[in-house]
Amino acid sequence: MKLLLVRHGESTWNAEGRYQGRKDPPLSARGALQAKALAERLSGSVDLRPNAIASSPLARARRTAETVAEKLACGVTIDERLIEISHGAWEGLLRTEIQRRWPDMMAAWRSAPDSVTFPGGESLADVQRRWQSALLKLRQGAQDDASEENAP
C-alpha cells in the first residue's frame, strides 16, 4: 500500500495567521484553488493517483478531499481519528496573541514540538496514537481489497 498524505487547502484562518486546531473555518478562495490544483495533479499522474481517499471530518479537509475525489471519480471515507491536533486554548488566536500569553510554550512548540501539550488540548503523542490507529485500519482495508481481487 502506498500512502500519500495531503494537507487541506488554505483556510480563512490560515490566511489570517490564526491557530485553528479543531475549530472549523472554511477554505479560503485560495484554498479552493489549491484543492482543484491538487485534483488536477493527482488525476494526471499514474504514480500518484490514489485508489481511496480518507479525510478528517473537518470541513476544510473534507472539501479538499471531495474536490479530489470528484475529479478522480472515487469516494471519500471520513475518519474521526484523522482530525487535526487539538490546540486547546490556542484555537482561534493569532500567533502574536499566543506569543504574548504563552511565550515559553510557543518557543517549545517551535524548537521541540514533541514536548508540548496544549492547554486544554493534546500533544503530538496523542495525535500519533490516533493516526496509527487510523493507518492500521486503512492498511487492513487495503489488504482485504487485495484478497478480494485475488479470490477465484
Residue 129, SS3 per DSSP: helix
Distances (CA, A) of 126 to 73, 117, 119: 33, 9, 14
Catalytic residue check, 84: yes
Catalytic residue check, 87: no
* Options 8, 10, 87, 91, the catalytic residue: 8
Beta carbons of 19 and 51 less than 8 angstroms apart? no
For 151, the grid coordinates are 479470490
Question: Which element (helix H / strand E) includes 35?
Answer: helix 29-43
* Options 10, 84, 91, 122, the catalytic residue: 84
Q: b or e along 122-137 (b: 16 or more beta carbons within 10 Å of the residue's beta carbon)?
A: bbeeebeebeeebbee
Active site residues: 8, 84
